[in-house]
Structure 1
Amino acid sequence: MEFLQILDAHVEPGALVEWIPAAAGGMGAWRRDPRQTSHNHEQHLRSALDYRLRTQREGGREAWLGVSVDFDEQISLPAVRKAILAWIDRHEVLRTHVALTEQGTDRYTTEPGAVHLRDARVGWYSDPTLLIEQIAGSFDRATAPLHWPAYRFATVARAHSFTLLFAADHSLVDGYSLVNAHGELRELYRAAAAGRAPRLPPTGSYVDFSGSERLAADAADDRHTAAAEWREFLDGRPTLPGFALVPEPPASAAPGGPQPPAQPSYNDLLLDDDATRRLEQRCADLGGSLIGGLLAVTALTYRRHSGATRFATVMPRHTRTQADYHGSLGWFVALAPVFLDIGDDPDFVQALERVMISLDRAREGASLPIRRVAELLSFPPDPKFVVSFMDTRALPHAELADAGGAHALRSHTYSDDEVYVWFTRTPGGLRIHARFPADTPGHPTATVLQAFFADFTRLLASIAAGG
């Protein structure tokens, strides 16, 4: 399943309809919900509010994730409507909203069946570029996190096929939400079109998880083992480490001033399934794992290109430890601090050993939300260099998605100092998706990063082949 920036995606042209959730009477009839907000969600909302106040803009801070699902059949609009409404009823996170207050947050929630859909028939598109630009712009505007709904659906229909698209602000979904979503939406549509009950297991609510996670995290203090791991990760620095090849950004722009250009992307199938299996086996023979091997190769490439003596990155870890939440929509993510010494120019075997030690310790670092750790240790909780890994092979319809039947999507991003790398193990092999700062006068950052990833790809292929 490819992970693509929306403007890099291809949707076959056709008739575009946008499906807009709404609630009768607005949110005034929703009940006040005592369940607390996760640290992730509150931090995200406060960052959005800060951006609005600082720049006097709503746009330019897009942070949505989404999915596109292809169907090889003529569209049934009543079945689409029924499927979307069933999905909204299934996942409580789509029927709740968090409002910021001076003291904290207030949550409001409504019951299954309270949300309806308004369909807006935008028109017929024959140009795929204009179509994707229209969808991207609509999703950008619809997913503002300070409002409900911070999500939207769309369909693009042709004579004998159609595509269903969904986008939501990151506060509502994470990576596993996307790879679960395409299978659920496919099954809900099939059931609606056939007039049968959907064959989906029950799922828990992210709102329940948020409340329990918040209570546990707020009870922790700076003696927590996670705080100790993050102290060592920071290594005396006042902020989270960035990527050494990215120059320090200029001072913050004045309100309403210019923003950085949109970040470019890097996408590639790094290894096919056979080569990935060989890499997995080599890592296992050395006492490591696939993600350990990927981080080791990243660290070695980092050393070659930067001359740095320390490799440090933040790594997302899912928090879906209870079976009830395996299929839930939500932001079930903790961040783990991963770091190792590379000053002695280690080889792959040495780097892998050090990475595995760091990954073992990183589990403790991820046992508290980063925003809570940042409160305890007084550092800004915004990561600048992130490496993510996800294995989708065991998920429903994984082969169909990997063959192009579904794509994970994200918004374009504006940042002059963030580097994010996503590795995905799929039935077809190993994929990479990355974003990084654009070239600017005097700073060819994107050009430098493209060379970095090309070198990483060559080194990984060499190691997978036994080199």
Structure 2
Amino acid sequence: MQVTDLRPLHDWSGPPAVLSLWRPSAASMESAKRAPVSPVLPSYEQEQHLRAFRACEQRHEAMARLLVVVWEEPGRCDLRAMTHVVTEHLRRHDTYHSWFEELGGAIVRHVLTDPAAIQMEPSTLGEACAEDWQKHVMATPAPFAWDCFRFGILQRASGFTCFASIDHLHADATIIAFLMTEIRSAYRAVLDGERPLQLGSPGSYLDYCSSQRQRAAATTLADPEVSRWIAFLHRNGGRMPSFALPLGVLEDRYHAEYVHVDILEEAVMDAFESACHAAGARAIGGLLACAALTERELAGRSHYSVVTPTTTRRSPKAFRTSGWCVGVVPIDFDVQQRRFPELAFTAQRNFDERMSLAETPIELVLELAAGLPTVGSVASGGVMLSYMDVNVPPLSAQIAREWHQANGRVYINQGIAAQVAIWLFRTQRGLSLTAAYPANETARASMQRYVKAFAGACRRAADALVPTCLDVGRER
């Protein structure tokens, strides 16, 4: 199977294999049901996700809500050992100890008082083809259910595929590779009778939620971060940024489809990063510059505007904590007739200067700005560009090697989307792009044009600095 970085779930394929699935025991479900209400509110990320899910449910729409991490292991899976490992994983991370319900328009959290009450149980379901596996993954319970997570394996004669299907409520992309490494290391340690890889203790996602809500309670419309967010929205007509090309829809909500493309091979990506450094930027600045050049080329735009997500984890312990810890950074700058080096420097400075705005949730900004006639009331719509490099901190070289050696990859289920989303991944193989966009011919044609032009802009930036390096890379 080809190694991928992020793909839609229906792209997964493989020969039939024996499927085993881990679910919470009946006693665990009963303990969760009795869990008392907690004073800790959901994080802004969780609340937005839960409300979006409920809106989709009321419209009878599917929601893209699952993060499915998949990797390969040799030999025959020891089900007893894996049962111990997935149970300990759920006990170890306190985000899994919560479930949510709606009460009088509010969303309240229930928390299991004793993590030891969590016990996973395996069941072997027989031979499954790719479509069968996808259906089982899609059956992962919805985010208002406590057990909105599943773990499983597909056993073949030559080895087995491990997978974890986790509702976005409890995980984000930053933690995916660490999650795989934690489970993989613990499983091998149980088999070998050795101590697992010393990854360190995780932090508390409940503490993250409490801290975020405390900061929000002290935030006002006059705060500099809120003012900068509102100024950004004003420059975009009171809304989030719009995609540069026609999408064939007028509404913000649409059924999404996906495209996955390898943009730059390893040698070319190395050259691209060198071009970024020569311009006084990092890869994120260079990629934002290329996106701006793409919009200028295709749509004649002289001003670039986008939001880019970034982790809000700020300590080594936080990077070992499962949960959803992501904010977005508003980016906009003039393009005019400027060339890549100047744009990369400008984009990088823009990104660095606005990083602190990710700590102020856009949902909070809209709450505070509700009385302003020039700011819209919905944070959805627009375009998002995300970049992740799995080779550098917070994902260590050791974790990156584990991910590569185990053929790690991530899948997302299809559903209704409220924006054009572009994910860029830097791995040991180079740079890949996955995009979600409206499922219609107009948007499909626009995205094909965009991806081709964006890849060309990245390659030209790399070519301009070290063409000899690229020539060598293309001969491989």
Structure 1 pair 429–236 and aligned structure 2 pair: CA distance change class (3 A): closer
Structure 1 residue 260 displacement after superposition:
4.3
Structure 1 residue 266 displacement after superposition:
2.3
Structure 1 residue 70 displacement after superposition:
0.6
The yes-or-no answer on 1:357 pairing with 2:349 is yes
1:225-262 CA-partner distances (Å, limit 9, x unpaired): 2212212221162321221213363458xxxxxx8444
Helix, strand or coil at the partner of 2:330: strand
Give the gaps of 5 or more residues in structure 2: 371-376, 466-476
**Equivalent-residue separation in structure 2 for 1:80 and 1:246 (angstroms):** 48
The yes-or-no answer on 1:298 pairing with 2:291 is yes
**Equivalent-residue separation in structure 2 for 1:101 and 1:338 (angstroms):** 37
**Equivalent-residue separation in structure 2 for 1:25 and 1:146 (angstroms):** 15
**Equivalent-residue separation in structure 2 for 1:195 and 1:336 (angstroms):** 45
Q: Residue 217 of structure 1 corresponds to which residue in structure 2? A: 216
Query: 1:313, 1:386 within 8 Å by CA — same for their partners in 2?
Result: yes
The yes-or-no answer on 1:122 pairing with 2:103 is no
**Equivalent-residue separation in structure 2 for 1:278 and 1:236 (angstroms):** 34
Query: 1:143, 1:167 within 8 Å by CA — same for their partners in 2?
Result: no
Instruction: Tell me which of 258, 262, 284 is aligned to 1:264.
Output: 258
**Equivalent-residue separation in structure 2 for 1:159 and 1:373 (angstroms):** 54
The yes-or-no answer on 1:14 pairing with 2:13 is no
Q: Residue 161 of structure 1 corresponds to which residue in structure 2? A: 159
1:370-413 CA-partner distances (Å, limit 9, x unpaired): 11112112331225311111121143331242356211221123
**Equivalent-residue separation in structure 1 for 2:356 and 2:201 (angstroms):** 30
Give the gaps of 5 or more residues in structure 1: 126-130, 253-258
Instruction: Tell me which of 329, 336, 348 is aligned to 1:336.
Output: 329
Structure 1 pair 348–411 and aligned structure 2 pair: CA distance change class (3 A): same
**Equivalent-residue separation in structure 1 for 2:255 and 2:231 (angstroms):** 34
Query: 2:200, 2:317 within 8 Å by CA — same for their partners in 1?
Result: no
**Equivalent-residue separation in structure 1 for 2:213 and 2:84 (angstroms):** 34
State the one-letter code of the partner of 2:422: V
Structure 1 residue 301 displacement after superposition:
0.6
Structure 1 residue 312 displacement after superposition:
1.0
Q: Residue 90 of structure 2 corresponds to which residue in structure 1? A: 88
Query: 1:67, 1:407 within 8 Å by CA — same for their partners in 2?
Result: yes
Query: 2:256, 2:436 within 8 Å by CA — same for their partners in 1?
Result: no
Helix, strand or coil at the partner of 1:66: strand
Q: Residue 242 of structure 1 corresponds to which residue in structure 2? A: 242
Instruction: Tell me which of 180, 183, 188 is aligned to 1:182.
Output: 180
Structure 1 residue 187 displacement after superposition:
0.6
Structure 1 pair 383–193 and aligned structure 2 pair: CA distance change class (3 A): farther
The yes-or-no answer on 1:229 pairing with 2:228 is yes
Helix, strand or coil at the partner of 2:100: strand
Helix, strand or coil at the partner of 1:397: helix
Q: Root-mean-square deviation (CA), in Å? A: 2.1
State the one-letter code of the partner of 1:356: Q
**Equivalent-residue separation in structure 1 for 2:430 and 2:63 (angstroms):** 32
State the one-letter code of the partner of 1:41: Q
State the one-letter code of the partner of 1:50: A
Helix, strand or coil at the partner of 2:237: coil
State the one-letter code of the partner of 1:337: P
1:13-40 CA-partner distances (Å, limit 9, x unpaired): 3101221124152533323322222111
Structure 1 pair 297–251 and aligned structure 2 pair: CA distance change class (3 A): closer
Q: Is the deviation greater in 348-357 or in 34-43?
A: 348-357
Q: How does 1:47-196 map to 2 (within 5 A)?
A: 47-53=52-58, 55=59, 57=60, 60-102=62-104, 104-110=106-112, 111-125=114-128, 131-196=129-194
State the one-letter code of the partner of 1:223: A
Structure 1 residue 285 displacement after superposition:
1.6
State the one-letter code of the partner of 2:67: L
1:256-299 CA-partner distances (Å, limit 9, x unpaired): xxx84441222315231x32222222211211111100110011
Q: Residue 3 of structure 1 corresponds to which residue in structure 2? A: 6
Query: 1:6, 1:132 within 8 Å by CA — same for their partners in 2?
Result: no
The yes-or-no answer on 1:35 pairing with 2:40 is yes
**Equivalent-residue separation in structure 1 for 2:106 and 2:214 (angstroms):** 14
Q: Residue 128 of structure 1 corresponds to which residue in structure 2? A: none
**Equivalent-residue separation in structure 1 for 2:187 and 2:15 (angstroms):** 20
Q: Is the deviation greater in 385-394 or in 19-28?
A: 19-28
**Equivalent-residue separation in structure 2 for 1:323 and 1:461 (angstroms):** 34
Query: 1:314, 1:338 within 8 Å by CA — same for their partners in 2?
Result: yes
Q: Residue 457 of structure 1 corresponds to which residue in structure 2? A: 455
Q: TM-score, normalised by structure 1?
A: 0.90
State the one-letter code of the partner of 1:60: A
Helix, strand or coil at the partner of 2:324: coil
Query: 1:62, 1:144 within 8 Å by CA — same for their partners in 2?
Result: no
Helix, strand or coil at the partner of 2:356: helix
Helix, strand or coil at the partner of 2:13: coil
**Equivalent-residue separation in structure 2 for 1:364 and 1:153 (angstroms):** 36
1:300-327 CA-partner distances (Å, limit 9, x unpaired): 0111111223211111111110222111
State the one-letter code of the partner of 1:242: S
Q: Is the deviation greater in 37-46 or in 426-435?
A: 426-435
